[in-house]
Structure 1
Amino acid sequence: MSHVEIELKLAARGDAIEAVRQCVSTLSHQHSEPTKLTNIYFDTAQRQLRQWDMGLRIRGCDGRYEMTIKTAGLVIGGLHQRPEYNVDIDSPELDLTAFPTEIWPEGTDVSQLQSDLAILFSTNFMREKWLVTFEDSEIEVVFDQGEISAGAKELPIQEFELELKKGFIADVLNFAKKLADIDGLYLSSLSKAARGYSLITSNSAVLPRPDSIFDYEEQPIEKSLTHMQLLCQQHEAYWLAGEDNARQGFSEFLRFVQAFLVHYQHSAPHFVHDTPLEQLRLDIANDAISAEDFCYSSQWLKCKLAFIQWLSALTYQEAQ
């Protein structure tokens, strides 16, 4: 079975979790009690699946197992749209022949690929779910809490995911904007698999300093907005990593975004013009505000969602 998964991921600080739960509970919903999930991720020693932008896992829950592969898709500043294929299996053992042959690059020896696969890392977490009716859509809200493990290394999992089950992408974004009234949420562009790969990658690499400007006048606006989202993520990561002059670079980037909006003042939606970019620049200049305080702030999340909503309106087709 296959479908296109469309979701937003919101990493959560501890002080935001109960507030999100309460917000969700005020809406029409069906609640599922927490269950324990274990996921095992696979790849070759050469990271062949990673090179193909694929992610392969086996998920176990209550003695039942499911094999899933996610193929290349789109990620726009945290809004994920990726085809995925799910197969029920009797035991936690791989069988790549159960997937459609057309998902593999031409010439792939599936039998050889399977023999080359090995376990890279695992995730273990409790999952709580709500199926919410919001505006004209059904949205599944998931809260995951646990850890990613690779040998002795671990990373925490504490995130909400908003997945469109039926309806419109715009409703997912509007629901996220409702949650954005809560401080302590961070729009994440990284899947659990991507974070797992980072855990097994050497930490010695130095983050490159992000650009603060680019030439947007000679390219389509969709391409410019996508580039802007990428730079936004890079500036966040650079500052959160504590790199030198990251605060100043982020401030310069926001000044560039303001200039970008002046250039597109007649085509940018009103909700983008309403974003408090000048106040955000003042917040960055305040040494009392840390990178985490800023990146997990309500105002910054609202700003990011506004730009994603603008870009998604130009890019995505609505779900059926």
Structure 2
Amino acid sequence: MRQLEIELKLSVLPEAIKRIREKIICFRYTHFSLHKLSNIYFETVDHQLRRWDMGLRIRGCDGRYEMTIKTAGKVIGGLHQRPEYNVEINKPELNLLAFPREISPKNTNVAHLQSQLTTLFYTDFSREKWIVTYQGSEIEIVLDQGSIYAGARKKPIMEIELELKKGTLIELLAFAKEFVNIEGLRLANKSKAERGYSLVQHSDYIDTKYFLPHCNWHTMPIEQGLNQLLAYWQHYEECWLDNQPQAKQNLSHLLVLIQAFLVHYSHSIPHFVQASPLKKIMALLATADIQPQQLCYSADWLRCKLAFTQWLTALTLS
């Protein structure tokens, strides 16, 4: 019932899909037929589950249903790690008592909590899936295309997820780097649930912990400082893509801080980070007419972020 989900999420532009498929078939793989998936996400009026950093959904596929709850996890660079619990059910009705009692915060009245839950938003999308053998690992690739709906509002879903089913994080990241020459891919930090919440709130969720210019990375252990810088990077990238004021300026300032970080730790930088095109994307970001989608979905941008994510993963695992 319980499993640790370890995956990389990549937002995709439509023109990249053909090249993604061409890349996948270069490896030993098993292909699964296309499925239509519906997902209903639940929440209380006061967003209690979100405050607990939990997400609850019922997924339907081919007349079968599964209830899933995801609990607090972590993001290392662009790598998502989050415990989840799955229960097969006969019909799309909640039964929180089917989950292990220990996943709820202490003294939670589970029956009362269930009575407070209502449908918050839902998703409909098609899913194409491959299982790829890469080096000693088994990696599941899913391509999702569809929409998130909240009342009369909706957002598109166009993404791939690379999930580690068996093997090592290092090989998962190495496999992701096989895609870096494809234009139109971007490391994505927000799950479908997070995007659904932002749709309900009529704006993207802004977390005040991400307001620069203060980032005291030089007072932290190297992995903690790098993790904070990458979190800022992802946040301001999302803000720029959403055309929020000052986002481009903040992102430019952030990349200058990352360059200073590399100078400070010049004797500890792995070769693949040294070879990353950080200076190139900094120069492009400084041009007046550069558009967020043009840069953030470029191969150089992805190559650079994956290099830093690989470095952070190596530091975290060491």
Is the deviation greater in 206-215 or in 292-301? Answer: 206-215
Which secondary structure does the structure 1 equivalent of 2:258 belong to?
helix
CA drift at 1:248: 3.2
Structure 1: how far apart are the matches of 2:82 and 2:205?
Answer: 28
Alignment-mate amino acid for residue 10 of structure 1: L
Find the counterpart in structure 1 of residue 288 from structure 2.
287
Q: Is the 8 A contact 1:210 1:234 kept in 2?
A: no
CA drift at 1:258: 1.1
Which secondary structure does the structure 2 equivalent of 1:302 belong to?
helix
Find the counterpart in structure 2 of residue 121 from structure 1.
121
Alignment-mate amino acid for residue 180 of structure 2: A
Find the counterpart in structure 1 of residue 271 from structure 2.
270
Structure 1: how far apart are the matches of 2:204 and 2:181?
Answer: 37
Q: What do residues 154-177 of structure 1 show as CA deviations (whole Å, max 9, x unaligned)? A: 000000000000000111111111
The answer to whether the aligner puts 1:19 opposite 2:14 as a matched pair is no
The answer to whether the aligner puts 1:242 opposite 2:228 as a matched pair is no
Find the counterpart in structure 2 of residue 8 from structure 1.
8
Q: Is the 8 A contact 1:184 1:296 kept in 2?
A: yes
Go from structure 1 to structure 2 and tell me whether the alpha carbon gap of 1:232 and 1:64 turns closer, same or farther (over 3 Å shift). Answer: same
Find the counterpart in structure 2 of residue 47 from structure 1.
47
Find the counterpart in structure 2 of residue 306 from structure 1.
307
Alignment-mate amino acid for residue 223 of structure 1: Q
Find the counterpart in structure 1 of residue 190 from structure 2.
190
Q: Is the 8 A contact 1:5 1:83 kept in 2?
A: yes
What are structure 2's unaligned runs of at least 5 residues? none
Structure 2: how far apart are the matches of 1:241 and 1:67?
Answer: 32
Alignment-mate amino acid for residue 151 of structure 1: G
Say how many residue pairs are matched: 317
What is the 5 A alignment of 1:79-98?
A: 79-98=79-98
After the TM superposition, which parts of structure 1 deviate over 6 Å for at least 4 consecutive aligned residues?
204-209
TM-score (norm 1): 0.95
Structure 2: how far apart are the matches of 1:109 and 1:143?
Answer: 38
Percent identity of equivalent pairs: 52
Q: What do residues 234-275 of structure 1 show as CA deviations (whole Å, max 9, x unaligned)? A: 221232222344333322221221111011111121111111
CA drift at 1:316: 4.5
Structure 2: how far apart are the matches of 1:31 and 1:120?
Answer: 33
Which secondary structure does the structure 1 equivalent of 2:158 belong to?
strand
The answer to whether the aligner puts 1:152 opposite 2:152 as a matched pair is yes
Q: Is the 8 A contact 1:126 1:145 kept in 2?
A: yes
Is the deviation greater in 308-317 or in 205-214? Answer: 205-214
Q: Is the 8 A contact 2:277 2:303 kept in 1?
A: no
Alignment-mate amino acid for residue 285 of structure 1: A
Structure 2: how far apart are the matches of 1:108 and 1:306?
Answer: 42
Go from structure 1 to structure 2 and tell me whether the alpha carbon gap of 1:69 and 1:205 turns closer, same or farther (over 3 Å shift). Answer: closer
CA drift at 1:289: 2.3
Q: Is the 8 A contact 1:29 1:131 kept in 2?
A: yes
Q: What do residues 86-129 of structure 1 show as CA deviations (whole Å, max 9, x unaligned)? A: 10100000101110000010000000001111000101000000
Q: What do residues 46-76 of structure 1 show as CA deviations (whole Å, max 9, x unaligned)? A: 1111110001000001110000001001112
Which secondary structure does the structure 2 equivalent of 1:157 belong to?
strand
Q: Is the 8 A contact 1:77 1:188 kept in 2?
A: no
Structure 2: how far apart are the matches of 1:280 and 1:213?
Answer: 22
Q: Is the 8 A contact 1:49 1:55 kept in 2?
A: yes
